[in-house]
């Protein structure tokens, strides 16, 4: 009896509210909550609720099926036994399924990663069923204080840009064909939005990579600092400065920016050091330092970047060279937008992570991971680049204007430029009319010096060709004279309607020449070392909001003179003709899905070089689903 009484007293004492409150403070295994305004405690069979690990988590991405069938009537020698080819997948190395995952672990800390799944169908069997990281896992953090906003990006691959001369890719002047879809092109609510945007603004929606470069490492950003200051610091490596090489390499850069009103000035730098051997005996790299500014004076806008740079091998360098880009823009007669672009980039300024192309200095980095050679600073000789694409060892001026008359919008570009030094005995040029078809002749890889005459080089979704000059110094192999370049580009766009149906007509013409003398306009005679003429006409007819009929016609002529390499049989220089006719449909299947069909017939031949010819057709079907 005494024992029972003692237990009863003990039971009542333990469950007094005061004791329970004290137990809650000392024993975290007991949780409290409120129900009907009364506080009660979870004990016994009431488990403790785990704290939420993630504040937010999301998954999105896309699935892209693309298949290509090619039939060739005439083919290059390496395709003679493969004239009929069916291919599933994208040989631009874009995965079929992409998952973008991101989450937040705290108010100011987030992370993200991209996972891909891919079946390239190269014939390697189950080993090619690839699953992996596309851009790696990145961690993002931000902190806001009274001093400013601070952000950090680490790991993975981040797409980023500083300035054109330090770390950025070329954006150009939005004069290009949009008939072929890029792997990153989105679906749109109305299928004609892509073509309407190009007509209205001169550009189409691009993903985050547009105008930016890939960077792996750490990026620290500071914005909204006192007195209008902001800054960036980068440390890691880039796609071409070592890339996936296991050899030591690093890049470091950044900028300090001062804003005043809508204008600014910034000090910028980007630098790289790479090694070509595991013992770190051979050291190569470059340094670039610039000032960038933007200043608007009434109706005149001044934008530009000036600085200096150098390249080095071991401790040897040719010294520092100058880099200048100045754009002056305003409205002519208060109606026609006009921009003048003055530029000069020394042959000593080298930076393959910038918006200009290196044409003067060649370095290669031998990878120990495989037997290939990775170009660290790929020299593309004296290139005939589109207007807006800068190259080093070049100086000149661009003029760009926009003239709108009724429903016809016309963008006009003019360029005259010259080499600063005669360093290359080669000229390179593109084949825009059949560029994607030609790139499909070499799947997966990006080889150089291929084709029937070993003068074609594949780059991403494009191919450029090299022609050799014959007027060279027998001792040095350098040309006897400097080269001068001229180019005119015309991009006209028209928007009309037939009843309730909109249609768009686009024309793009490019007329360029390279010669040994300065000329005010493109040379159309044999005085030019090389002449390139491109015509591209596109039409888009909106059958409905969900159905677009697309058409394309292209024609190109490339003519060289007798100061370039001739064929050993015909003894004549290059005389190329390219023709392409295509049609297709854009079909909206649902809110996030689209079907895109393209049928192209092509014919290309050189009347001087008999092996340089191909003809046939190519059919492409793409289904893209965003979720």
Q: What is the C-alpha separation between 548 and 550, in angstroms, rounded?
A: 6
pLDDT of 361 reads 65
The larger pLDDT score, comparing residue 195 to residue 110, is at 195
DSSP class of residue 357 equals B
- Beta-carbon contacts of residue 341 (< 8 Å; ≥ 6 apart): 325, 326, 327, 328, 388, 397, 398, 399, 400
pLDDT of 26 reads 42
Q: What is the C-alpha separation between 74 and 554, in angstroms, rounded?
A: 19
Q: What is the C-alpha separation between 177 and 612, in angstroms, rounded?
A: 25
pLDDT mean over 282-306 = 93
**DSSP, residue by residue, 552-578:** EEEEEEEEE-TTB---TTT----EEEE
- Is residue 16 pLDDT above 70, yes or no? no
pLDDT mean over 275-283 = 73
pLDDT of 111 reads 78
pLDDT of 157 reads 79
Q: What are phi and psi of 184, to 5 degrees?
A: -95, 0
The partner residues of 604 in beta bridges, in order of sequence, read 578, 614
pLDDT of 470 reads 94
pLDDT of 363 reads 52
Give which of 538, 619, 623 is closest to 183, Cα–Cα: 623
Pairing relationship of beta strands 382-383 and 426-430 according to DSSP bridges: parallel
pLDDT in tens, 450-495: 999 999 998 888 899 999 999 998 888 888 899 999 999 999 999 9
pLDDT of 625 reads 92
DSSP class of residue 479 equals B
Model confidence band, residue 2 (pLDDT cutoffs 50, 70, 90): very low
pLDDT of 3 reads 45
Model confidence band, residue 54 (pLDDT cutoffs 50, 70, 90): confident
DSSP class of residue 17 equals H
The partner residues of 536 in beta bridges, in order of sequence, read 508, 554
pLDDT mean over 413-435 = 94
pLDDT in tens, 307-326: 999 999 888 888 999 999 99
- Is residue 70 pLDDT above 50, yes or no? yes
What mean pLDDT value characterizes the chain?
Answer: 84
- Beta-carbon contacts of residue 261 (< 8 Å; ≥ 6 apart): none
Q: What is the C-alpha separation between 577 and 554, in angstroms, rounded?
A: 11
The structural domains of the chain, with segments of one domain joined by +, span: 2-42, 400-627
pLDDT in tens, 533-592: 999 999 999 999 899 999 999 999 999 999 999 999 999 999 999 999 999 999 999 888
Q: What is the C-alpha separation between 153 and 39, in angstroms, rounded?
A: 45
Pairing relationship of beta strands 462-468 and 31-35 according to DSSP bridges: unpaired
If phi over 0 gives left and psi between -120 and 50 gives alpha, with beta otherwise, what is residue 565? beta
pLDDT in tens, 172-218: 788 889 999 888 788 877 888 888 888 988 766 555 566 788 888 89
pLDDT of 131 reads 64
Given a contact cutoff of 8 angstroms between Cβ atoms, the answer to whether 512 and 489 are in contact is no
- Beta-carbon contacts of residue 26 (< 8 Å; ≥ 6 apart): none
Task: Pick the most confident of 162-171, 335-344, 351-360, 547-556.
Answer: 547-556
Given a contact cutoff of 8 angstroms between Cβ atoms, the answer to whether 409 and 359 are in contact is no
Which helix (H) or strand (E) element contains residue 132? Answer: strand 130-145
Model confidence band, residue 158 (pLDDT cutoffs 50, 70, 90): confident
Give which of 52, 158, 56 is closest to 103, Cα–Cα: 56
Q: What is the C-alpha separation between 409 and 493, in angstroms, rounded?
A: 5
pLDDT of 47 reads 60
pLDDT in tens, 206-219: 555 667 888 888 99
% of the chain with per-residue pLDDT over 70: 82
The gap from C-alpha 178 to its chain's centroid, in whole angstroms, comes to 16
Task: Pick the most confident of 101-115, 441-455, 581-595.
Answer: 581-595
pLDDT of 433 reads 95
Q: What is the C-alpha separation between 93 and 163, in angstroms, rounded?
A: 28
pLDDT in tens, 611-622: 999 999 999 999
The larger pLDDT score, comparing residue 390 to residue 135, is at 390
Rg (C-alpha) for the chain, rounded Å, is: 30
Question: In this predicted structure, which of 440-444, 493-497, 524-528 has the lowest mean pLDDT?
Answer: 440-444
Number of H helices, E strands in the chain: 4, 32
Give which of 249, 253, 236, 246 is closest to 283, Cα–Cα: 249
Question: In this predicted structure, which of 240-254, 419-433, 459-473, 486-500 has the lowest mean pLDDT?
Answer: 240-254
The larger pLDDT score, comparing residue 479 to residue 335, is at 479
pLDDT of 31 reads 47
pLDDT of 140 reads 80
Q: What is the C-alpha separation between 44 and 30, in angstroms, rounded?
A: 9
Give which of 41, 3, 2, 49 is closest to 22, Cα–Cα: 41
Q: In the sheet that 462-468 helps form, which strands lie side by side, from edge to edge? A: 382-383, 426-430, 462-468, 456-459
Give which of 472, 164, 455, 96 is closest to 306, Cα–Cα: 164
Model confidence band, residue 243 (pLDDT cutoffs 50, 70, 90): low
The partner residues of 236 in beta bridges, in order of sequence, read 217, 251
pLDDT of 134 reads 62
Q: What is the pTM of this model?
A: 0.83
Q: What are phi and psi of 368, to 5 degrees?
A: -85, -10
- Is residue 88 pLDDT above 90, yes or no? no
Which contacts (CB < 8 Å, 24+ apart) does range 77-86 have? 77/452, 77/611, 78/441, 78/450, 79/441, 79/614, 83/616
For 37-55, b where at least 16 C-beta lie within 10 A, e where not — what string? eeeebeeeeeeeeeeeeee
pLDDT mean over 39-63 = 68
Given a contact cutoff of 8 angstroms between Cβ atoms, the answer to whether 302 and 326 are in contact is yes
Given a contact cutoff of 8 angstroms between Cβ atoms, the answer to whether 458 and 439 are in contact is yes
pLDDT of 552 reads 98
pLDDT of 210 reads 66
Helices marked H in 156-212 — which ranges?
Answer: 193-201
- Is residue 14 pLDDT above 50, yes or no? no
pLDDT of 203 reads 64
pLDDT in tens, 348-381: 999 888 999 888 766 544 333 333 334 434 556 8
Cβ neighbour number for residue 252 with a 10 Å cutoff: 15
Given a contact cutoff of 8 angstroms between Cβ atoms, the answer to whether 23 and 15 are in contact is no
Q: What is the C-alpha separation between 70 and 68, in angstroms, rounded?
A: 7
Residue 12's Cβ-count burial label (10 Å; 0-12, 13-18, 19+) is exposed
Q: What is the C-alpha separation between 533 and 558, in angstroms, rounded?
A: 7
pLDDT mean over 242-252 = 72
DSSP class of residue 122 equals S
pLDDT mean over 266-276 = 91
């Amino acid at each position: 009896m005494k024992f029972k009484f003692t237990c009863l007293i003990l039971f009542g004492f333990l469950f007094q509210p005061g004791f329970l409150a004290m137990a809650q403070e000392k024993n975290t295994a007991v949780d409290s909550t409120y129900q009907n305004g009364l506080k009660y405690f979870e004990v016994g069979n009431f488990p403790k609720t785990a704290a939420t690990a993630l504040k937010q988590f999301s998954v999105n991405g896309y699935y892209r099926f693309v298949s290509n069938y090619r039939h060739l009537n005439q083919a290059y020698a390496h395709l003679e036994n493969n004239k009929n080819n069916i291919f599933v997948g994208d040989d631009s190395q874009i995965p079929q399924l992409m998952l973008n995952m991101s989450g937040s672990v705290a108010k100011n800390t987030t992370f993200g990663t991209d996972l891909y799944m891919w079946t390239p169908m190269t014939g390697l069997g189950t080993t090619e069923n690839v699953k992996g990281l596309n851009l790696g896992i990145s961690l993002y953090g931000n902190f806001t204080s009274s001093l400013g906003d601070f952000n950090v990006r680490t790991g993975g691959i981040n797409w980023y840009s500083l300035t054109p001369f330090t770390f950025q890719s070329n954006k150009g002047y939005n004069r290009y064909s949009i008939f072929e879809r890029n792997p990153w092109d989105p679906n749109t609510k109305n299928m004609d939005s892509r073509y309407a945007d190009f007509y209205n603004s001169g550009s189409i929606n691009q993903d985050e990579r547009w105008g930016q470069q890939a960077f792996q490492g750490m990026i620290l950003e500071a914005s909204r600092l006192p007195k209008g200051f902001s800054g960036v610091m980068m440390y890691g490596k880039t796609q071409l400065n070592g890339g996936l090489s296991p050899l030591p390499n690093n890049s470091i850069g950044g900028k300090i920016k001062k804003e005043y009103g809508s204008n600014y000035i910034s000090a910028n730098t980007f630098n790289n050091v790479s090694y070509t051997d595991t013992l770190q005996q051979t050291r190569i790299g470059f340094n670039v330092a610039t000032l960038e500014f933007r200043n608007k004076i009434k109706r005149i806008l001044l934008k530009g970047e000036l600085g200096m740079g150098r390249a080095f091998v071991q401790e040897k360098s040719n010294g520092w060279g100058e880099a200048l880009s100045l754009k002056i823009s305003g409205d002519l007669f208060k109606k026609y937008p006009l921009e003048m672009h003055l530029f000069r980039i020394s042959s000593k300024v080298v930076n393959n992570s910038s918006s200009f192309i290196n044409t003067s200095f060649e370095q290669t980095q031998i990878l120990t991971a495989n037997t290939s050679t990775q170009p660290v600073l790929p020299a593309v000789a004296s290139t005939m680049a589109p207007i807006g694409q800068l190259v080093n060892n070049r100086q000149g001026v661009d003029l760009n204007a926009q003239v709108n008359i009724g429903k016809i919008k016309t963008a006009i570009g003019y360029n005259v430029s010259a080499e600063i030094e005669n360093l290359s005995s080669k000229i390179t040029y593109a084949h825009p009319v059949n560029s994607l078809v030609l790139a499909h002749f070499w799947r997966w890889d990006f080889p150089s010096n291929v084709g029937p005459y070993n003068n074609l080089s594949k780059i991403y979704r494009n191919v450029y060709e090299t022609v050799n000059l014959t007027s060279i110094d027998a001792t040095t192999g350098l040309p006897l004279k400097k080269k001068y370049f001229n180019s005119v580009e015309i991009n006209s766009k028209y928007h009309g309607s037939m009843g309730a149906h909109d249609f768009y007509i686009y024309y793009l013409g490019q007329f360029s020449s390279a010669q040994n003398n300065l000329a005010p306009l493109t040379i159309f005679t044999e005085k030019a070392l090389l002449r390139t003429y491109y015509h591209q006409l596109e039409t888009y007819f909106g059958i409905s909001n969900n159905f677009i009929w697309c058409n394309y016609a292209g024609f190109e002529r490339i003519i060289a003179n007798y100061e370039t390499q001739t064929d050993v049989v015909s003894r004549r220089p290059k005389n190329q003709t390219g023709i392409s006719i295509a049609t297709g449909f854009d079909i909206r299947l649902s809110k996030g899905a689209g079907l895109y069909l393209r049928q192209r017939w092509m014919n290309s031949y050189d009347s001087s070089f008999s092996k340089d010819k191909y003809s046939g057709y190519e059919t492409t079907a793409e289904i893209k689903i965003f979720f």
